[in-house]
Structure 1
Amino acid sequence: MSLSPPDIAETADPGPVVFDAELRPHRSLSMRGFRLLMGAVIAVSAIAGGAVYVAGAWPVIGFMGADILLIYWAFRASYRAAKRCERLRLTPAWLTIQRIDPRGRGRTEALRPHWLRVELDDPAGPSSPLLLWSHGRATPVGSFLPPTERERLAASLRAALGRLRFEPIR
């Protein structure tokens, strides 16, 4: 069962936070590295463009400029996608999943933890989804994570759910 955010806010105190995780896509190239890479690409293209111009094939320079723009656009799109975020927060009353898209728009889902089942292929492959099942409906989480991270998240979430289910609520 999924509830909208206003319904979550109207519930009684959900209790202490048992599990809290913020998931973000990994980007191995820092912004400084991106600037250095773009500088190197521009320098190589300028040198090659100068040689091509001297050789008399000046129309090729336009394609080299298009290559630079395409590389820049691809990296900017990758960095924009890296702004995506998912936050999982487990309390005795709810597991809330807050998703923030690259444009900053948020969406929240809430699932009852006592009906929740965590499912992931063993071993997890590159396309194996981490699914949270509740009331016959699957909710994928961490789709941008590598398989090892999804396995760790699944194990941590299962452990937290186990503690929640078998420890008395205070």
Structure 2
Amino acid sequence: MIDELPPSVTGSEAQLLLRPRRILTPRQFVVLFVLIAVPASVVAGYSFAMGNAFAPAFAVLDLAIVAVALRWVWRSGDRYERIVVGGQRLEVRRSPDDASVFSAHPYWVRLRRASGRGGPGAVCLGSQGREVEIGSFLPPDERDELLGRLRSMLAAASGRAPVEES
């Protein structure tokens, strides 16, 4: 998901916030866990009644692993990349600590699309021998949109006309 943020200081810089799409809401994750837990508990109870003394312990362990996995999946959706483009700098910041991973003057930044397996791949920014991949968690159509937005943002920041890709 690509969101355009308002400038931190009026008219000073443009910002893009890149986040992975979430398929389920928190409530839907709880419902999913309940839909897994109820049948597992019924089967464990039936197995215990038939003489399997370890079935309840196994069910609790299984549900704990499923809960941890669901929590990990949800937390992985919290990551983001923030791209700040101004007249004097382009900066890429990443979660969890919002640390800067790339910074350069917009005039000298190269924007390219790396070739990937079976089609277009990663969007990369480079300058002075350094290169960083951005939007790795975005689907291909959103990467195309990101490429177009960044191309026009870089052109505006550096005072050049947007370069058309041939």
1:88–1:95: 8 Å Cα contact kept in structure 2?
yes
Number of residue-to-residue matches in the alignment? 150
1:63 is aligned with what amino acid?
A: F
Separation of aligned partners in 1, 2:149 and 2:28: 33
Q: Deviations over 1:81-111 (max 9, x none)?
A: 222121111111111212122xxx2212421
Describe how 1:60-139 pairs up with structure 2 within 5 A. Answer: 60-101=55-96, 105-108=97-100, 109-121=102-114, 128-139=121-132
- RMSD value, Cα: 2.4
1:117–1:133: 8 Å Cα contact kept in structure 2?
yes
What TM-score comes out, normalization by structure 2 length?
A: 0.79
> For structure 2, which runs of at least 5 residues remain unmatched after alignment?
1-8, 162-166
Answer 1 or 2: higher relative contact order, Cα 8 Å, separation at least 6: 1
Aligned identity (percent) is 27
Q: Specify the SS of the correspondent of 2:125.
A: strand
Which deviates the most, 40-49 or 57-66? 57-66
Richer in strand (by share):
2
Q: Deviations over 1:3-62 (max 9, x none)?
A: xxxxxxxxxx9x732x32101122211100011111121211111111111222231332
C-alpha displacement of 1:150: 1.7
Match of 2:4 in 1: none
What TM-score comes out, normalization by structure 1 length?
A: 0.77
Q: Specify the SS of the correspondent of 2:141.
A: helix
Separation of aligned partners in 1, 2:117 and 2:108: 23
Match of 1:145 in 2: 138
Match of 1:9 in 2: none
Q: Specify the SS of the correspondent of 1:139.
A: strand
Q: Specify the SS of the correspondent of 2:92.
A: strand
Structure 2 residue 146 is matched with structure 1 residue 166: no
2:45–2:55: 8 Å Cα contact kept in structure 1?
no
C-alpha displacement of 1:127: 9.0
2:116–2:122: 8 Å Cα contact kept in structure 1?
no
Separation of aligned partners in 2, 1:166 and 1:136: 22
2:114–2:120: 8 Å Cα contact kept in structure 1?
no
Q: Specify the SS of the correspondent of 1:148.
A: helix
Match of 1:56 in 2: 51
1:110 is aligned with what amino acid?
A: S
Separation of aligned partners in 2, 1:83 and 1:47: 34
